[in-house]
Each structure stands twice: as C-alpha cells, then as structure tokens.
Structure 1
Amino acid sequence: MQKVAVVGVNHIGRIHCKVYDQNPDCQLVAVCDLDQAVADRVAAEFQVKAYTDVAIMFQQEDVNLISVATAGEENGSHHYQPVMEALHAGKHVFVEKPISNNIHEAKEMVALAEEKNVYLACDLNHRFVPAAYTAKDWIKRGEIGDILFVNMKLMIRNQKESSPWLQLRALHPHSLDVMRYFAGDVKRVQAFMLKAPGRDIWSTASIHVEFRSGAIGHLTGSYDMSMRHPIEQCEVGGTKGRFVLDNIYEHLHLYPHEKDEATVVRNSIMNGVSGFEETFKRRIDCFIQEMTDGIAPSDIEASGADALAVQLVIEAAIRSHQEGGKVIDVSYDASYR
C-alpha cells in the first residue's frame, strides 16, 4: 500500500488526488498547498489532512510517495524544492511535467533519485493509452520495419504571455516524449520559431530532429491553434509500413506498404479512454502498478531520466533558434541514465 501526499492541489493536483483516492493500492493521506484555502478545500473533499509546509507534513504524516503538481514559471519552476525535499527524505516522487524548467535542477533531481534508489516518475501521460500501446506493439513485431521518420504535431490555444519559451518548456515534453517512445533518443535538432501577430512569446515552432538510430523527424508545435479540432497527431514511417495516431487516443491507422487494406483501431466505446482527464489516471495507475510489481526505479516508464531527456532536447531546440537555426547536438551526460 502506497501512502500518498499530493503537493500543489489547485487544479492538476486535485486530479492526482482523485486518482490516488480511487486506486486500491494507494491511501491518500494528506495534501499540501501554499494557499491555505485551497489546501483546506481539497483536504475536505478527500477527507485527509491539509498542510501548507512540506517539511511539517513529512514530520507529522507517514507517507512514502509524494505527488508534486505545483506550477510556477513555465509550469515547472516550483517543482524543484518539494521534489528535492521528498527525495532527501527517502520518499518516492511523481512529478508533473516539465520535471523542471531549469535543466540544472532537473539533472539534480534525477541524480538524487538515483543516489537514494527511489522512484522518480513524471506525468508524461500522452502515451499511456491503448492506441499508443498498440502502435508500440506494431513496432516491436516488425509491422513498421526499420523506422525512417517520425512526424509529430501538438497544437493548442494558450494565450499566456510569460516566458518567451513557455510553449517549448511547458507543452513539448509531451510531444517529444511520444517521439522518443516510438523512435528512441534524439541526437540533434534544428529549430525555427515565430511570434504570432500580437504575441510576445515564441508561440509556434518547427523543429527538425535526427534520432540516434539515424531516423529523422519533425515536430510542429503551437500555442496559436483552436482546440475545437484535433490537437495532436503522430505519424511513424518505416521500411514496411507506417501508422498515424490521431488526437492522442482517438484513432490509429496502420498502412502496410505491400497491402491494399489498412488496419483501423478506434477508441473503444466500452473500455476505451473516456476523455483526456482519464489519461492522468492511466498514467498514475501504471506507475503504482510498477511500484507494486517491484520494477527497478531505472526501468519504469516515463521516469525522471526520460523527463530529463526531453528537456535536454527542448534546451537544444531553444539554443538552435537563438543561433539562427544552427544544428545543435543534444548533450547527454552522466546525469542522464
């Protein structure tokens, strides 16, 4: 039984609470938020203790898993302190994306989790759906052949005007994680970005990638698109066929090169994904199952190391744009895996 506390419960953190409360292998024990009113409201909803200080919560509550859903600049600057406090205390950690908007802090988190031999997982939830599992199985079974390219799109409407790099650091951990899930580590990138009319941030991006395998790919990302229509698509092409995964979990098509018939997989009306919020449940439930099964911290899905890997790609893309579209190698060091 995992005894859980959630830190940062204003929105996404409340979803975390709901998932842990429903998981039979978890006991939600406490919540913590800097805003006393928010902490009290969510604590009352789930009938747990409310705190505004992580250190005090650790002193008074017997918890072994901390879920961090604080926000901050680029949705990640407030992750570092509670994550590091938890890791130093020997707690397992589940953290929202981005693991941090500061690459040095992300590296410290991953290194400390490895030193303490505790779990550090990240909410890279877009691939924890049946359609993505099916597509991955096609790759493993050789249905695609050798992967040649990955084309990814993730486009939403977000009118926030804060950091120039908000779109890159806050949104594209998801898209780059999906690309890595299917094709492995990225070797180098080339990026071009623009500011849509009236905007102060780099709100639309075009990123070319080369994978370590030699495959190539492309990411189109934007904070300028309507969310009335599909927001995400991933296309993977290989020597034997290609597949297209539409809108995270809605439709998946396999197009074999030597057959006229395509395979179509639709989100099941009976046991499919009921909505985007369910992707949080599927992702967290997977992590809890891995802990229950005793999977090694280094072998879990969407680990802290995986989250760091996508942030390294993002930082390389930012540097590429800053240097006029220069091709930039992604620098992996000892803190990654």
Structure 2
Amino acid sequence: MGIKVAIIGCGGIGTNHANCYKNDSLAELVAVCDIVPEKARKLGEDKGVPWYKSTKEMFAAHPEIESVSVTTSGYDNGSMHFEPAMEALDAGKNVLVEKPICADLRDAQELVRYAGKKKLYLGCNLNHYFTKTAERADELIRDKKIGELVYCIHKVGFNGNEKKYTGPGTPRWQTPYSHVKAFCAHPFSVMRHFCGDIMQVQAFMDRPGIRRSQLDPMLSINGIHVRFANGGIGYLLSQRGDAMFGLGGWWSYEHAGTRGTFCIENCVEKLHYWDVDKVENPGMASPKPEIFDTGITDFNATFPSRIHAWLEDLANKVPLEHLRASGRDALATLTYTFAAMRSYEEGGALVIPEALPALHGDIKYVW
C-alpha cells in the first residue's frame, strides 16, 4: 500500500493534488477536508473518499494519515496556509504546502521552525524545476559544461493586454503585493535551484494606467535584480497579464556561464544549449544551439512529477535536510520576496534578505 495522504483545501489546486495522488502508486488518498462543505463533499465524492469540514474531525477519524497536502488559498494566495499546516504538524503529519508557503514571513518562519522541532517533513509545491528541461540543465551543470555563473535572466508571467483587463478581481487579489507574494515564489525557487542563495536584492515595481484607472492596487509589474552568493548576478521580470511576452514565451530562464549557456523555454517544453567549444564564431548575432525538445506542452505535467518526488522522499525516509523543495527552500523564496518589497518601498534600495535557519543535519547521514 502507498503512503496514506489527505488533502486540506478542495478547490482547483486541491483537486489537482488529488488527481496526482490517485494516479501515483506510492500514494493512497484517504480523505479530503474543506471548511466549505460543498467543496469537500464534491471532491470526496468524485474521488471516492470520506470528506470532512475540519482537520480535527478528519484526523480523529483517520489516525493512519501520514501526509497532508495543504492547498488552501487566502489573501495573496497564501494567508490560509499557516493554520491548517500547523494543525497537521501538531497531529504528527508530514505536510506538503502550496506556494507561497505563507503570505506572512513570520508565519513561514514559525512553520519551518515547528516542523523542525517536530522532526516532520515540510515541503512546498515549488514545481517549476521538477521537469525534464531542468533535469537536462542539471546534467549540463554537473558535467561542467556551463562553468562559473555569469548571469541568469528569468522572465515569467501571464500574457495579456489592456483590452483583456477585467478589473481588480476578488478581495484576495486587492492588495499591492498580491502578485508579488503569489507569483515570485516559483521564479525565485528556479533561480535558487540553479544559482544558489541570493545575498542582495533590488526591486522596482509598478502597475499600468489601466489598473490605476480602476483603482487596482496590485503592483503587477516587477523588475528584480539580485546578486548570488557565488558572485553571479540575476534578473527577474514578472508581470500579470499587462503585456505580451516576446521570444521565449510566457516562461523563460537563461543561464550563462563561463563554459556554456542554456535557456529553458516555456518551462516544460525545450532547452537550448550553447557549447562554447562548438560555437564557431562567438561574435555571431545568433549562434546555433543544441535543442532538447521534451515533446511536452502541458505545464500541468509539473504537478505529478513534483508530487511523486515528495512521495519518493517520504518513502525513502531521506534526511530532513535533503528533502527536495523543502519548507526551508520555500522560506528562502519568501525572504527574497519580502526583501524585494522592502527595496521597492525604499525607492530601489539594496536589501539583504533575512537569514535562513541553520541546517543542523542528521547524525546518521553526516557520519
């Protein structure tokens, strides 16, 4: 039998997690829960499992639950993550929380601290680098075909234009940083995965005139400049449907090193690789790259891949500090997000992100 899992939060993302668990041989979906009974009932009946209106009720009925997906929402797409995640940890369950890990940095710090105290796994659905393209990029880096980082540029967002703008939206999106908090976790996680920890952040943010005229407070355009611990520099550009992206599509990540360069196009689709030893004329405007085409066009393919990795780590009982896309990793992305917010508020000042909790390690693994 697989790892016995439950879901807290039965909306669209919760349904996505449920589908992944139902189709993964490492998992057995046991129950679902939502404070909105209609949502819980619908997902429970669709998946053929009991449904509940509270975590207390669900955990009492199913003490066998080992792992929980927290897929609730809230302001800035994450304000309702903290309480159910803490309740699950308090009940002795491992927790996979949606991104952002929390909407508040203090909540995220406490969540990571408490999971460490309980010695339970806390992961986050930072699924953008659980892809075949990222695996290929990791191979290039491991094989020393990229070399020392010079720069990375990450462009990610939603295509759109002012004609398609439909207004401020629901209350959870009507805060200045709703896009920044909900969205930047993914690109920051990708940048950190390939480049390491970010040491300095400088940000500029704004919103176009169409949002101003509708009294929309969302700072939907973000330009964030960073410096990594290894000395490389990076730039993150995100926007929420205010314009159309050009080359590279809605998601592109370019990583240039002293030995080679790669660029991932549309997250799951293609990786372009420029080998310095095979580029006959580096001064050419457009040297020809090697192209790795996955044949995958559906971004949703990242969900089963990431969730399977979570289940693998649980099944293999990896040391807590070796959990992929851990709560600590998710906390790192939130510290960068809050550093960017502070930089914007201070007119583009250079900001040092808050320090992450120390890694102490598993003595059995270390020795």
- 1:305, 1:336 within 8 Å by CA — same for their partners in 2? no
Q: Deviations over 1:299-328 (max 9, x none)?
A: 011100000000000000000000000000
The equivalent residue for 1:96 is: 98
Alignment partner of 1:213 is 2:230: yes
Shift of 1:225: 3.3
Please give the alpha-carbon distance, in whole angstroms, between the structure 2 residues aligned to 1:166 and 1:64. Answer: 32
Please give the alpha-carbon distance, in whole angstroms, between the structure 1 residues aligned to 2:40 and 2:29. Answer: 14
Please give the alpha-carbon distance, in whole angstroms, between the structure 2 residues aligned to 1:118 and 1:205. Answer: 35
Matches within 5 A, 1:101-140: 101-140=103-142
* Cα 1:108/1:204, change in 2 over 3 Å: same
- 2:328, 2:356 within 8 Å by CA — same for their partners in 1? no
Residue in structure 1 matching 2:290, options 248, 263, 266: 263
Runs of 4+ in 1 over 4 A off after TM superposition: 226-229
The equivalent residue for 2:16 is: 15
Identity of aligned residues (%): 34
- 1:176, 1:310 within 8 Å by CA — same for their partners in 2? yes
- 1:205, 1:222 within 8 Å by CA — same for their partners in 2? yes
Please give the alpha-carbon distance, in whole angstroms, between the structure 2 residues aligned to 1:166 and 1:96. Answer: 15
The equivalent residue for 1:320 is: 343
Please give the alpha-carbon distance, in whole angstroms, between the structure 2 residues aligned to 1:299 and 1:19. Answer: 23
Total equivalences in the alignment: 333
Shift of 1:140: 1.4
Q: TM-score, normalised by structure 1?
A: 0.95
The equivalent residue for 2:73 is: 71
Please give the alpha-carbon distance, in whole angstroms, between the structure 2 residues aligned to 1:38 and 1:330. Answer: 38
Please give the alpha-carbon distance, in whole angstroms, between the structure 2 residues aligned to 1:69 and 1:201. Answer: 23
Shift of 1:198: 2.4
Please give the alpha-carbon distance, in whole angstroms, between the structure 2 residues aligned to 1:194 and 1:262. Answer: 35
Residue in structure 2 matching 1:179, options 191, 195, 208: 191
Please give the alpha-carbon distance, in whole angstroms, between the structure 2 residues aligned to 1:280 and 1:225. Answer: 27
- 2:321, 2:359 within 8 Å by CA — same for their partners in 1? no
* Cα 1:14/1:2, change in 2 over 3 Å: same
Please give the alpha-carbon distance, in whole angstroms, between the structure 2 residues aligned to 1:115 and 1:195. Answer: 41
- 1:111, 1:335 within 8 Å by CA — same for their partners in 2? no
Letter in 1 for 2:332: A
Letter in 1 for 2:258: T
Shift of 1:89: 1.3
Q: Deviations over 1:75-110 (max 9, x none)?
A: 100000110011111100000000001000001111
Q: Deviations over 1:172-197 (max 9, x none)?
A: 10001000010000000100011111
Shift of 1:288: 0.4
Q: Deviations over 1:128-186 (max 9, x none)?
A: 00001110111111101111111101121586441100111001100010000100000
Shift of 1:227: 8.3
Alignment partner of 1:237 is 2:256: yes
Aligned residue for 1:307, secondary structure, equals: helix
Return 5+ residue gaps in structure 2 as ranges. 160-164, 212-216, 280-287, 361-367
Residue in structure 2 matching 1:295, options 311, 314, 318: 318
Aligned residue for 2:184, secondary structure, equals: helix
Aligned residue for 1:282, secondary structure, equals: helix
Please give the alpha-carbon distance, in whole angstroms, between the structure 2 residues aligned to 1:72 and 1:259. Answer: 50
Return 5+ residue gaps in structure 1 as ranges. none
- 1:110, 1:336 within 8 Å by CA — same for their partners in 2? no
* Cα 1:274/1:29, change in 2 over 3 Å: farther
Please give the alpha-carbon distance, in whole angstroms, between the structure 1 residues aligned to 2:100 and 2:180. Answer: 10
Please give the alpha-carbon distance, in whole angstroms, between the structure 2 residues aligned to 1:92 and 1:76. Answer: 19
Which structure would you say has the larger Rg?
Answer: 2
Shift of 1:226: 4.5
Please give the alpha-carbon distance, in whole angstroms, between the structure 2 residues aligned to 1:285 and 1:274. Answer: 19
Letter in 2 for 1:306: D
Alignment partner of 1:32 is 2:33: yes
Aligned residue for 2:133, secondary structure, equals: helix
Please give the alpha-carbon distance, in whole angstroms, between the structure 2 residues aligned to 1:208 and 1:333. Answer: 20
Please give the alpha-carbon distance, in whole angstroms, between the structure 2 residues aligned to 1:237 and 1:85. Answer: 43
Alignment partner of 1:203 is 2:229: no
Aligned residue for 1:220, secondary structure, equals: strand
- 1:189, 1:330 within 8 Å by CA — same for their partners in 2? yes
Q: TM-score, normalised by structure 2?
A: 0.88
Shift of 1:230: 2.1
The equivalent residue for 1:225 is: 243
* Cα 1:318/1:336, change in 2 over 3 Å: farther
- 1:309, 1:336 within 8 Å by CA — same for their partners in 2? no
Please give the alpha-carbon distance, in whole angstroms, between the structure 2 residues aligned to 1:227 and 1:291. Answer: 38
Please give the alpha-carbon distance, in whole angstroms, between the structure 1 residues aligned to 2:34 and 2:317. Answer: 30
Letter in 2 for 1:264: I
- 2:269, 2:297 within 8 Å by CA — same for their partners in 1? no
Calculate the aligned-residue CA RMSD, in Å: 1.7
Please give the alpha-carbon distance, in whole angstroms, between the structure 1 residues aligned to 2:184 and 2:356. Answer: 21
Aligned residue for 2:243, secondary structure, equals: coil
Alignment partner of 1:282 is 2:305: yes
